[in-house]
Structure 1
Amino acid sequence: MDTKKLRQKILDLAIRGKLVPQDPNDEPASVLLERIKEEKERLIKEGKIKKSKRTASSDKYHYGNVPFEVPDNWVWTTLGEISNYGDSINVQVDRIKDNDWILELEDIEKDSANINQFLKKSERSISGVRHQFYTGEILYSKLRTYLNKVLVAPKEGYCTTELMSFNTYGVMSNKFVCHVLRSPYFLDYTLRCGYGVKMPRLSTADACKGMIPLPPLGEQQRIVAKIERWFSLIEQIEQVKNDLQTAIKQAKSKILDLAIHGKLVPQNPNDEPASKLLKRINPKAKITSDNEHYPYGWQYTILGEIFTHNTGKALNSSNKEGIMKSYLTTSNVYWDKFDFTVLKQMPYKENELAKCTVTKGDLLVCEGGDIGRSAIWNYDYDICIQNHIHKLRAKIDLCVAFYYYVLLYLKENNLIGGKGIGLLGLSSNALHKINVPLPPLAEQHRIVQKIEELFSILDNIQESLKV
């Protein structure tokens, strides 16, 4: 279930008068609009507000020339006509008290408009000017409006000037106006008239010209209650989805733990013991008869004992002679997959190709970034690697996929690290000495088959959560 689209659909139905039924006993919105005009005129006359040049008349929107049809007892108006948008109070930061709340854009979560943190002036390093706002006023982000950072202020404070604070003269529901401003319809309007490429903004003039569908006050309140009820249910669904995602991650981790310790599939006494496999690799290898952490028939060894490994060629712009070959960088390698979007080329000399060429079945391990991230090269063509990628090639017949999962397990349990100052890296020496289990070959294949079977089931569940 795409809960974001579901929220957008609910808002779209709400502003079109299709979320709750109309009540013929409601006072028509046209009367409410007149009351707003009267309140504005009274405040202007008393000198409490100034007459705004930005206000656009809604008369021409009552009939025809409207974005979409609304119920008969609704009217079309503009944001400038029903609010004091653009009349924010500017306050110099040095005049704000240390204990006053300072709201910045990064404190507001996109789409949900939940406030992630409440910080006082004393907890921020700020200068310049802020907008003063009061409890119950609407806060609207004119910067990157597609992030939908629109909310009703839960308490008074001061905010970045990228947030516009305004009110609706106490005659209508500010929560309803918030929902209109967050609706797909109004968002589309702001995207069409916003200015700026990288950081698009909505001008005050265009915001005030934005057309608003206005229901009777009673219906506004019913719409808000219905939206809040639906959104609460959606939040519960999202929480369940998040819990399920966490459970899937934990299940995969447990599967790997069982697999690496010989508890995922039963042992077969007819399997050739891992000791013989290890002896074929190295006749002088130390054979452990008592494996404390592994089943009978398994061995304990190091990665360098069962794999040859080396890194590729260092990138050097001065190298201009040789055979041009495509090569992988660490940016091409992810866990269990490769990204070929950007594939670079570099000249290689004949004596470098054997070391740098990857063939089908090789296990590639990155030394930096997400240290230890790995993928098996399962393609029928060869490719080269740069020096920040380790190429592991099995010395004899091994199930390489089993060791991919070993590395994944070690990574998830913080057992693969890196050494260095600043950017850490997994050196060849450290990679060589990584302790790994060695099950019988047949059991390696059974373990991988069971892991992939269980992971496939969990992946299907995870994919269904996106629908």
Structure 2
Amino acid sequence: MTGQQLKNSILQMAVQGKLVPQDPNDEPASVLLERIRAEKEQLIKEGKIKKEKNPSIIFRGADNLPYEKIGKNERVCIADDVPFEIPESWEWARWGTLSESIQYGYNAPAQENGRIKMVRISDIQDNSVMWETVPYCDIKEGEIDAYLLKPNDILFARTGGTVGKSYLVQEVPEEAIYAGYLIRTRYSNQLCPQYLKYFMESELYWSQLREGTIATAQPNCNGKTLGNMLVPIPPSHEQIRIVEKLNAVMTHVIEYDTVDSKSKHLNNIFSERLKKSILQEAVQGKLVPQDPADEPASILLERIRAEKQKLVAEGKIKKDKHESVIFRRDNSHYEKLDGVERCIDDEIPFEIPESWAWTRIGSITELITSGSRDWAKYYAETGALFLRMGNLSKNSFTLRLNNLQRVQLPQKAEGTRTALQAGDLLFSITGEVGMLGLIPDKFETAYVNQHIAVLRFFPDIRNKYLPYLLLTDYAQKFYKGNQHGIKNSFRLDSIYNVLVPIPPSQEQKRIIDKIEKLFHKITVI
């Protein structure tokens, strides 16, 4: 159970009359509501508040069921509208019946200086107003009193992403009014303000709000919805006992939520860290035992070099301008580049088994390229898939196939060179550098944009070993250390130069199998 679920459960008990015991000596809520109605009628006579067009009175009938009389209409049984049973001493009431007023805020632009401060939705954070940053506004002197905030007013957000958010005004350090996207409710001082505020945090409140919310681009809820809400009203003294109990309990709920959140965070971190640890062991040759019968990785890389030279000779791929060959000599690592040999021991991040070999990614790829910039004019309902960064994953290489875009490309359109093949690895080169996506077998025709690089490895090494390697902390440290520009970008030549440890072909298969078995166990746990 989360902290929020625990809070919801406790609030539900509170508004159902199950949190504190009832006291038979308490004055029933029905008497309280009669007194509030009489008080309201007096304020109407004095012209201090407006008369309700159709006032609601809810009462228990002789059959012990709830009935409602609205204005001059006949009474109607509302047993189907009432969500749960409440104690005998409690009563149901509409928020509008309890309220002396439900009033929309003042519409004016916020200013650094002005006649008076104006509280907006954004100024309310964690059940308090950030008074230091509340802006000012200009308002006619004669209008101020109608919008002036007073202690125990309840503000209600009526639109946007925070619709339904409420705030109990406890103090007003200086004169202030409230903005147009807020509704202010005022009610009898015979009601406990904190009880009403707790009601506005309960699931009963939120469920009624959802029913009355207008679903648009900017969801909104009006004063009528608020006024129609059913509120369970306990006797006055029980309201105070409920609030005291909730105040005491919520301190522990906050502590529980903090501990629960930390625990979940640690569990998530543990899972990801364990996976990273497994991957690091894998690429250092420590996850599975070596088999002396395996063909060494050096022979595999020789075969890839020969295949590369053949494709260059056939004109199928371009020749490397700076071909790299890495080899061991005298227990050190050397790289031959442009006919010059140099020791690269200072670049080698860790030791690998004798049967393994280091190489640059560019030496084992047929293709490293990025997509085209010119795509918007080709967007269509049907056609080839167009993969973007949103289709890549941060901690895996699984393609995310939601929110797919499609394109209709002419035959010789810019970008057709990036038509994807099974086994291609996609790599984000801007923003969140290093997000991945592996193209599966039997994938439909697809292209990528300029924010994604396509890595096409030679068939002898076109498996999941290298995608797993590019998820390691070692690889990600390389990405972070070689980014350029304000927007964080990773150049294609930087991808080419990434040093990768290559196991023998058979060991690659054993490593992949072991990783997937271990990852499955972590997921199940």
TM-score range, shorter chain: 0.7 to 0.9
Q: 2:495 aligns with which of 431, 437, 441?
A: 431
Q: Is the 8 A contact 1:145 1:191 kept in 2?
A: no
Q: Who is 1:33 aligned against?
A: 33
The alpha-carbon distance between structure 1 residues 234 and 410, as it changes in their structure 2 partners (threshold 3 A), is closer
The CA distance in 2 between the partners of 1:116 and 1:26, in whole Å, is 33
Post-superposition offset of 1:304: 0.8
Q: 2:299 aligns with which of 269, 272, 276?
A: 276
Q: Is the 8 A contact 2:158 2:220 kept in 1?
A: yes
The answer to whether 1:296 aligns with 2:353 is yes
TM-score (norm 1): 0.77
Q: Who is 2:166 aligned against?
A: 150
Q: 2:456 aligns with which of 371, 393, 396?
A: 393
The CA distance in 2 between the partners of 1:197 and 1:378, in whole Å, is 39
Q: 1:118 aligns with which of 126, 130, 139?
A: 130
Q: Who is 1:237 aligned against?
A: 260
The CA distance in 1 between the partners of 2:276 and 2:129, in whole Å, is 32
Q: Is the 8 A contact 2:92 2:232 kept in 1?
A: yes
Q: Is the 8 A contact 1:312 1:356 kept in 2?
A: yes
Post-superposition offset of 1:61: 4.8
Q: Is the 8 A contact 1:107 1:115 kept in 2?
A: no
Q: Which amino acid aligns with 2:325?
A: A
The alpha-carbon distance between structure 1 residues 438 and 215, as it changes in their structure 2 partners (threshold 3 A), is same
The answer to whether 1:366 aligns with 2:428 is yes
Output aligned runs, 1:171-186, within 5 Å.
171-186=190-205
The CA distance in 1 between the partners of 2:204 and 2:522, in whole Å, is 38
CA deviation profile, 1:256-302 (whole Å, cap 9, x unmatched): 44444444445555544433332332377221444561223333322
Q: Is the 8 A contact 1:302 1:432 kept in 2?
A: yes
Q: Is the 8 A contact 1:86 1:166 kept in 2?
A: yes
User: 1:416 is paired with a residue of what secondary structure?
Assistant: helix
Q: Who is 1:384 aligned against?
A: 446
Q: Is the 8 A contact 2:4 2:257 kept in 1?
A: no
Q: 2:363 aligns with which of 261, 285, 305?
A: 305
Q: Who is 1:465 aligned against?
A: none
The CA distance in 1 between the partners of 2:181 and 2:387, in whole Å, is 41
The alpha-carbon distance between structure 1 residues 239 and 196, as it changes in their structure 2 partners (threshold 3 A), is same
User: 1:175 is paired with a residue of what secondary structure?
Assistant: helix
Q: Which amino acid aligns with 2:460?
A: D
The alpha-carbon distance between structure 1 residues 316 and 85, as it changes in their structure 2 partners (threshold 3 A), is same
The CA distance in 2 between the partners of 1:103 and 1:344, in whole Å, is 46
Q: Is the 8 A contact 1:311 1:386 kept in 2?
A: no
The answer to whether 1:190 aligns with 2:253 is no
Post-superposition offset of 1:371: 2.5
User: 1:14 is paired with a residue of what secondary structure?
Assistant: helix
Single out whichever of 144-153 and 201-210 deviates more from structure 2. 144-153
Q: Who is 1:464 aligned against?
A: none
Q: Who is 2:515 aligned against?
A: 451
Q: Which amino acid aligns with 1:344?
A: R
Post-superposition offset of 1:364: 1.9
CA deviation profile, 1:392-418 (whole Å, cap 9, x unmatched): 222242263222223223598453257
User: 1:251 is paired with a residue of what secondary structure?
Assistant: helix
Post-superposition offset of 1:344: 1.0
Q: Is the 8 A contact 2:364 2:457 kept in 1?
A: yes
Post-superposition offset of 1:391: 2.5
The CA distance in 1 between the partners of 2:138 and 2:279, in whole Å, is 54
Q: Is the 8 A contact 1:139 1:164 kept in 2?
A: yes
Single out whichever of 419-428 and 24-33 deviates more from structure 2. 419-428
Report the RMSD for the aligned CA atoms in angstroms.
4.2
Q: Which amino acid aligns with 1:24?
A: P
User: 1:80 is paired with a residue of what secondary structure?
Assistant: helix
Q: Which amino acid aligns with 1:176?
A: Y
Q: Who is 2:181 aligned against?
A: 162
Q: Is the 8 A contact 2:366 2:457 kept in 1?
A: yes
Q: Which amino acid aligns with 2:441?
A: Y
The answer to whether 1:404 aligns with 2:404 is no
TM-score (norm 2): 0.70
The CA distance in 1 between the partners of 2:210 and 2:479, in whole Å, is 46
The CA distance in 1 between the partners of 2:474 and 2:197, in whole Å, is 45
The alpha-carbon distance between structure 1 residues 325 and 152, as it changes in their structure 2 partners (threshold 3 A), is closer
Post-superposition offset of 1:318: 7.6
User: 2:265 is paired with a residue of what secondary structure?
Assistant: helix
Q: Which amino acid aligns with 2:327?
A: I
CA deviation profile, 1:26-63 (whole Å, cap 9, x unmatched): 32112222444466577778x8x922334863424554
The alpha-carbon distance between structure 1 residues 353 and 234, as it changes in their structure 2 partners (threshold 3 A), is closer
User: 2:508 is paired with a residue of what secondary structure?
Assistant: helix
Q: 1:252 aligns with which of 272, 275, 289?
A: 275
The alpha-carbon distance between structure 1 residues 458 and 162, as it changes in their structure 2 partners (threshold 3 A), is farther
Higher relative contact order (CA 8 A, sep 6+): 1
Q: 2:57 aligns with which of 36, 56, 59?
A: 59
Q: Which amino acid aligns with 1:345?
A: V
Post-superposition offset of 1:337: 1.9
CA deviation profile, 1:375-432 (whole Å, cap 9, x unmatched): 1112324423134333322224226322222322359845325766564443322221
Q: Who is 2:94 aligned against?
A: 78
Post-superposition offset of 1:203: 2.7
Larger Cα-atom Rg: 2
Q: Is the 8 A contact 2:49 2:100 kept in 1?
A: no
Post-superposition offset of 1:433: 1.8
Q: Is the 8 A contact 2:290 2:507 kept in 1?
A: yes
CA deviation profile, 1:186-211 (whole Å, cap 9, x unmatched): 33433444457222333334423433
The alpha-carbon distance between structure 1 residues 459 and 278, as it changes in their structure 2 partners (threshold 3 A), is same
The CA distance in 2 between the partners of 1:219 and 1:381, in whole Å, is 66
The alpha-carbon distance between structure 1 residues 433 and 53, as it changes in their structure 2 partners (threshold 3 A), is farther
The alpha-carbon distance between structure 1 residues 341 and 165, as it changes in their structure 2 partners (threshold 3 A), is closer
User: 1:172 is paired with a residue of what secondary structure?
Assistant: coil
The alpha-carbon distance between structure 1 residues 334 and 386, as it changes in their structure 2 partners (threshold 3 A), is closer
